[in-house]
Amino acid sequence: MPPVPLAACRDLPSSVTVPAVIYLDHNATTPVLPEVFEAMRPYFCEEWGNPSSAYRFGSKLKGVIEAARAQVAELIGAQPREVIFTSCATESNNAAIHAALKANPRKRHIVTSAVEHSSVLNYCMALQRDGYRVTYLPVDRDGLLKLVDLESAVADETAVVSLMWANNETGVLFPVKEIAEFCRGRGVLYHCDAVQAAGKVEIDVRKVQADYLSLTGHKFHAPKGIGALYVRWKAPFSPLVHGGHQERGLRGGTECVPLIVGTGRAAELARQQLPEYGKRVRSLRDALEEEILSSIPNTELNGHKTERLANTTNITFHGVESEALLILLDQEGICASSGSACLADSDEPSHVVKAMKRESAASREMIRLSFGPANTGTDASGALNALRRSTQMLRG
Ligand code: PLP
């Protein structure tokens, strides 16, 4: 297994632990940055009070939560009072759709796309079983969504449109500004799953006027188990999680102060590092992608060449089952995936690639590689060599 060379870590703080693998699955999750861990540390062992307590040992933590809320708000151009902390983006996505439906009980139609994350798709399917009508918008062969399809799907009984910012499997970007403008014009609430966009492209809710927008900490170097939901000021909201008065009564449950602090710090770092992020990961991604497509026969890119995140590539290796390829790559210490980590235990083909290329086996014969800022050229060449060997072996 090729170790990650120390040179790769030159500009990382000395406390970063570099795993003995080549990690190319940053759309699944990211490592907690040392600065984030340091910011959280006191709130595990020293400042562990309950923010809802009346005495200061607990109540002073309210200020800490508010500081983190302001940091998250700043990442997306929101006001702090428009950010609610949740347990994950799955909850944020469910909560946003739930709130929109509650606000319009007579409207029983939802518009989403066939390529959303399972946290939207499976909730929509559950709602269908409860009698709601759901339209799953198609995408083209490049994974792009056509606005005209949205325009013809929205009807008077549509309560909410839920369309993601960036696809987790292909990185393909949806035209979120135009979607938001259209929804505003039609008076329909718009929820945007911006999980994969945060820290990778600029998010500004003053420009993209969604009513709800979901984030999760672990995709931008905060820990897992903490998410956030932006709720535009005065947009309707009724809680999904009922309980105490936390989060202004909008989401019950004692706040996990360390994770909230970590998410705030990670959001601040993501905002500061955004200008560099794209340049850094794009050159590695492009180099690896070009080498794969030109030197490994029968390969095909899934996703639009330019309208996508700078860190993601999704490639079909014709005649090679995704699962078999991932096993061989794993044996070589390469972390990659064939779709969302949430569905990695299922042997279903990628619903995203299937929606793009219905007629072909591309959805069973693809993998996703997603870079992060700590990856190096050595990682990319290690992955390329492993892919060459593995595909050759599997093709016999
Ligand atoms: N939405 C998208 C686009 C995702 O990629 C993910 C995670 O992979 C989620 C939602 C769910 O996030 P979480 O793991 O915080 O529930």
Both tokens of 108, joined, read 């029983």
Q: Which of 219, 221, 308 to mutate to test the pocket of ligand 1 (most atoms within 8 A of CB)?
A: 219
Non-local CB neighbours of 209 within 8 Å, separated by 6+ positions: 180, 181, 184, 190, 232
Query: How does pLDDT run across 102-144, given as a tens digit for each residue?
Result: 999 999 999 999 999 999 999 999 999 999 999 999 999 999 9
Order of all β-strands in the sheet with 189-193 = 83-86, 227-231, 212-216, 189-193, 158-162, 109-113, 133-137
Query: How does pLDDT run across 147-196, given as a tens digit for each residue?
Result: 999 999 999 999 999 999 999 999 999 999 999 999 999 999 999 999 99
Q: Which of 85, 113, 120, 168 to mutate to test the pocket of ligand 1 (most atoms within 8 A of CB)?
A: 168
Q: Give the pLDDT confidence score for residue 18 in this predicted structure.
A: 56
- Which candidate, 202, 203, 214, places its Cα nearest to that of 100? 214
214 touches 192 (CB < 8 A): yes
Q: Residues with Cβ within 6 A of ligand 1?
A: 88-90, 93, 117, 119, 164, 168, 193, 195-196, 216, 227, 340-342
111 touches 137 (CB < 8 A): yes
Ligand 1 atom nearest to CA at 93: 10
Side chain identity at 100, as an amino acid letter?
A: A
**Structure confidence at residue 361 as a pLDDT band (50, 70, 90):** confident
The span from the CA of 25 to the CA of 286, in Å, is 16
Q: Give the pLDDT confidence score for residue 202 in this predicted structure.
A: 98
Q: Give the pLDDT confidence score for residue 1 in this predicted structure.
A: 37
The span from the CA of 394 to the CA of 319, in Å, is 8
24 touches 386 (CB < 8 A): no
Side chain identity at 238, as an amino acid letter?
A: S
Q: How far is the CA of 219 from the centre of ligand 1 (A)?
A: 8
The span from the CA of 153 to the CA of 244, in Å, is 39
Q: How far is the CA of 75 from the centre of ligand 1 (A)?
A: 18
Helix-then-strand count for the chain, H and E: 12, 12
Q: How far is the CA of 157 from the centre of ligand 1 (A)?
A: 28
Backbone angles phi, psi at 50, to 5 degrees: -95, 120
Q: What percent of the chain has pLDDT over 90?
A: 90
The span from the CA of 156 to the CA of 344, in Å, is 38
Ligand 1 atom nearest to CA at 340: 8
Query: What is the pLDDT averaged over residues 324-329?
Result: 97
pTM of the model: 0.94
pLDDT for 11 beyond 60: no
Q: Give the pLDDT confidence score for residue 38 in this predicted structure.
A: 98
Query: What is the pLDDT averaged over residues 35-47?
Result: 98
Q: What percent of the chain has pLDDT over 70?
A: 93
Query: How does pLDDT run across 207-222, given as a tens digit for each residue?
Result: 999 999 999 999 999 9
Both tokens of 241, joined, read 């999680």
Q: Which of 27, 215, 216 to mutate to test the pocket of ligand 1 (most atoms within 8 A of CB)?
A: 216
Is 345 or 28 the better-scoring residue by pLDDT? 28
Q: Give the pLDDT confidence score for residue 3 in this predicted structure.
A: 38
Query: How does pLDDT run across 50-76, given as a tens digit for each residue?
Result: 999 999 999 999 999 999 999 999 999
Query: How does pLDDT run across 239-248, given as a tens digit for each residue?
Result: 999 999 999 9
Provide the residue ranges of all domains of the chain, joining segments of one domain with +.
9-32+275-394, 34-270
Distance of CA 105 to the CA centre of its chain: 29
By three-state DSSP, how is residue 76 classified?
helix
Residues annotated as part of the active site: 342
Q: Give the pLDDT confidence score for residue 2 in this predicted structure.
A: 40
Q: How far is the CA of 6 from the centre of ligand 1 (A)?
A: 31
The span from the CA of 252 to the CA of 242, in Å, is 5
Label the pairing between strands 366-370 and 312-317. antiparallel
Q: Give the pLDDT confidence score for residue 345 in this predicted structure.
A: 63
pLDDT for 346 beyond 80: no
**Structure confidence at residue 313 as a pLDDT band (50, 70, 90):** very high
Q: How far is the CA of 90 from the centre of ligand 1 (A)?
A: 6
Non-local CB neighbours of 263 within 8 Å, separated by 6+ positions: 68, 71, 72, 85, 217, 222, 223, 226, 228
Q: Which long-range contacts (CB under 8 A, 24 or more apart) does 42-46 make?
A: 43/257, 43/258, 43/261, 44/258
Fold for the domain defined by 34-270: Aspartate Aminotransferase; domain 2 (3.40.640)
Nearest CA owner, ligand 1 atom 12 = 89
Give the CA diameter of the chain: 69
Fold for the domain defined by 9-32+275-394: Aspartate Aminotransferase, domain 1 (3.90.1150)
288 touches 388 (CB < 8 A): no
Ligand 1 atom nearest to CA at 28: 8
Q: Give the pLDDT confidence score for residue 360 in this predicted structure.
A: 82
Query: What is the pLDDT averaged over residues 226-235?
Result: 98
Ligand 1 atom nearest to CA at 218: 15
Nearest CA owner, ligand 1 atom 7 = 28
Ligand 1 atom nearest to CA at 91: 16
Q: How far is the CA of 301 from the centre of ligand 1 (A)?
A: 23
**Structure confidence at residue 8 as a pLDDT band (50, 70, 90):** very low
